[in-house]
Amino acid sequence: MDKWYRYFFCLFLLVVPGACSEWLQVEPESELTREEFWQTGNDVQAVVAGTYKELAGCVERLFKWGELRGDLLVPGQNISSDDRRIMDGFIYPENDLNKWNQLYRTINFANTVLKFSRLVVDRDQTFSENESKAFEAEALFLRSLCYFYLVRIFRDVPLILEASENDAQDYYPAVTSEQDIFLQIIDDLNIAVVDLPTSYEKTEYNKGRATKSAAFALMADVYLYFEKYQACINACNEITGSGLYGLIDGEDWFMNFFPGNSNESIFEIQFDKDLNQTNLLYQMMAPSMGGSYPDGNDEFRVSPYFVIEFEKVLSDRRSGNRTYLAFSGGGWYVFETTYILWKYVGTEGTSGMASGGGATGYRMGNKESDAHWIIYRYPDILLMKAEALVEMGEFEQAIELVNLVRTRALLEPVSGITNKFTLEDIILEERAKEFCGEGKRWFDLVRIGRRNNNERINRFIEILSANKTYEEAEIIRSKYSNPNSWYLPIHQDEIDQNNKLVQNPYYINQ
């Protein structure tokens, strides 16, 4: 109130407007302006956390991108029409699954950290340059991860490395080729692996934030995708040589998913229902019982053909009641047996459980779904390395690594394979069984299809058209014979809003 006399002074004196320009500066009270923010190391950490948080919001999308076009899942009863079209192979630019906005939001937050963290070093005495570098490395890791998803899903996408701050910037970028994005990712990760810590002070941070190993895992994945096999093997060796991770016992395999953060986990996005950090994985996968428990939405199920494949070897510790749970009946409608993707729905994986709605061991319910989203765990490193070794012609070493994963699952080891393609297929199948529903299948298939200038495109098509009706298989064959169709179209809204974007040629005139 002490300022009131000034206003009256203004009023009665007919002052020149210049004097009132300051008076017209009104700052918000419930939010911070950029000038007020970026003062301490805590501010930097908060935006880094925001970047992770944003990525955590992408989990449903990462799941769908990695699985819907693969062959391990089938539509459930309440699948959305957009998702069904993707699964049926009818893909149009208007489909909401083609939206990339969340990933670019994550990228923008990472860019914001990269721009401002350095400035805070000068402002906050307690915030050292090394601390800043570690945060920047986390941002680089997250940005690289996002771009890696983007190039695998859309191939050529805009490469944004500047934080969006004001309206003077150009927000209408053209696309960058996947090769250039690959080079950018590798440059960034090479910095990140130096600056990232090996571990943090608590388990949730060790698994839920970027570490050196997480960056190496991502690097290995990127190199494998872009067919740089020796580099991939080197990156894998950094992890296997660190001694920080190892395969857990086959009996405890389900502990990877519940409670999560197991010894073999390298990077997984953390959720915690006690902190209201939940996702929709439970809801998408759990059966729908007409409102009563388990109150899922039954959007996606495990493919019965995959289950048959799985159950060919009954001793596999990852099969029934672990990767999937047989479910029949329940509620007021009756249908044939279906298979719930149990990794995100159940709390335990014992073979003694009854199947269906009466089964014990469901998680808390769809509003409390807090299954972690695993991006890299140790068997992935072993199998990536094995795949790279196969391409290098080192079959023996590769078989050794594959057998590590097989014997852990109580499967017979394989031996004496000398055909490269056979070995590739064995690794592919092993990956399917180990990582079913973890958002990896489609990328594994595309990697096979792309390799050596689409050398195995027929195998790629064969896998995808198996177990389909004749007509469906025909459509798939004609569609996937054009490799452009392996990438999703840019969403129509993005095309409409940015004249510089060019649609993937496969979808023009669709």
Partner 1 sequence: MKIKICTVFLILLLSAHFGVCQTPLVIKGKVVDITGETLIGVVVCEVNELDRTLNGTLTDLNGNFALRLSSPENKIRISYIGYKTKEFLASGQTNFEVKLEEETVQLDEVVITAESKKVGGFMPVAERDLTSSVSTIDMKALKEVQVSSVGEMLMGRASNVDISMNSGDPGAGMSIKIRGTASISGSNQPLIVVDGVPFEIELDKDFDFSAVTQEQFSGMLNIAPEDILTIQVLKDASATAVWGSRGANGVLLIETKRGTMGKTTFEYLYKLSIQQQPKSIPLLDGDSYSMLMMEGILNSGSTEIPQELSYNKDWEEYNNYSQNTDWLRAITQTGISHEHNFSMTGGGESALYRFSLGYLDQDGTTKGTSYSRFTSRFNLDYNVSRKLLFSGDLSYSYSDNDLSFKENSDSRSIRALAYVKAPNMSIYDYDKEGNLSNNYFSPGDNFQGYGSLWYNPVAMANEATWNMKQHRLRTKLQLKYNILDNLIFQSFVAFDVDNQLENKFLPQVVTGVQWTSSYANLSSGMDYQSSVLEGQSQLLYTYQKGNKHKLTSMLAFTLSYKKNGWYYGSTSNLPSIFLRDYAQDAPVYWIGDGYSQNRMAAVLGFIHYSLLDRYMLQFNIRREGSSRFGYDSRWGTFPSVSVGYRISSEPFMKNLKLINDLKLRYSYGVNGNQPNSSYGYFNLYSTGEEYIDMPVVIPTNLQLDNFRWERNSQINYGVDLVSLNNYLEVHFDVYTQKSKDLIWEKLKLPSTSGFPEITRNWGSMDNKGWELMFVTDILKKKNFNLDFNFNIAHNENRITEIPENFDFEFGSEASNGQYARRAQEGHPIGTFYGFRYLGVYPTDVDAVAHDEQGNIIYNVEGKPLYMRYGNSDGYRFRGGDAVYADINHDGLINELDIVRLGNSNPKFIGGFGSKLTWNNLVVTLFFHYRLGQDIVNMTKMNNENMYYRNNQSISVLNRWRRQGDITDIPRALYNQGYNWLGSDRFVENGSFVRFKSASISYNLKKIAERIKLKDLKFNFMVYNLYTWTMYTGVDPEVPMISTDPFFIGEDKADTPPPVSYIFSLNAKF
Site for partner 1 in 17-36 (CB under 8 A): 17, 20-21, 23-34
User: Taking CB under 8 A as the rule, does residue 279 contact partner 1?
Assistant: no
Smallest gap from Cβ 92 to partner 1, in A, equals: 8
User: Among residues 33 and 418, whose Cβ is nearest to partner 1?
Assistant: 33
Check binding of 40 to partner 1 (CB under 8 A): no
The set of residues, in sequence order, having a beta carbon less than 8 Å from that of 26 and lying 6+ positions away, is none
Q: How far apart are CA 182 and CA 163, in angstroms?
A: 20
Residue 332 found at the interface with partner 1 (CB under 8 A) = no
Type of residue found at 480: Y
Give whichever of 2 and 27 is closer to partner 1, judged by the CB atom: 27
Give SS3 for 176.
Answer: strand
Q: Is the dihedral of CA 48, 50, 51, 57 positive or negative?
A: positive
Q: Which residues pair with 327 in a beta bridge?
A: 338
Give yes or no for residue 497 binding partner 1 (CB under 8 A): yes
What span, in angstroms and rounded, lies between the C-alpha atoms of 299 and 304? 15
Tell me how many residues contact partner 1 (CB under 8 A): 77
Interface with partner 1 in residues 112-151 (CB under 8 A):
112
> Is the omega angle on the peptide bond into residue 259 within 30 degrees of 0, that is, cis?
yes
Query: How near is the Cβ of 45 to partner 1 at its closest, in Å?
Result: 6
Q: Which residue among 272, 311, 412, 474 contacts partner 1 (CB under 8 A)?
A: 272
When asked if residue 37 is in the footprint of partner 1 (CB under 8 A), the reply is yes
Does residue 241 touch partner 1 according to CB under 8 A? no
Q: Rounded distance, CA 209 to CA 375, Å? A: 11
Q: Cβ of residue 159: shortest distance to partner 1, in angstroms?
A: 9
Please tell me the distance from the alpha carbon of residue 489 to that of residue 479, in angstroms, as a whole number: 14
Instruction: Establish if 499 lies at the interface with partner 1 (CB under 8 A).
Output: yes
| Contact status: 418 vs partner 1 (CB under 8 A) | no
| 259: helix, strand or coil | coil
Residue among 7, 293, 335, 421 that touches partner 1 (CB under 8 A):
7
CA 94, chain centre distance (Å) = 22
Binding residue for partner 1 (CB under 8 A) from 186, 205, 356, 414? Answer: 205
Binding mask 76-105 toward partner 1 (x if CB under 8 A, else -) reads --------------x-x-x----xxx--xx
Strand partners, 340: 325
Query: Which position among 238, 309, 429, 493 is part of the footprint of partner 1 (CB under 8 A)?
Result: 493
Q: In 3D, which of 181, 162, 178 has the Cα closest to residue 170?
A: 162
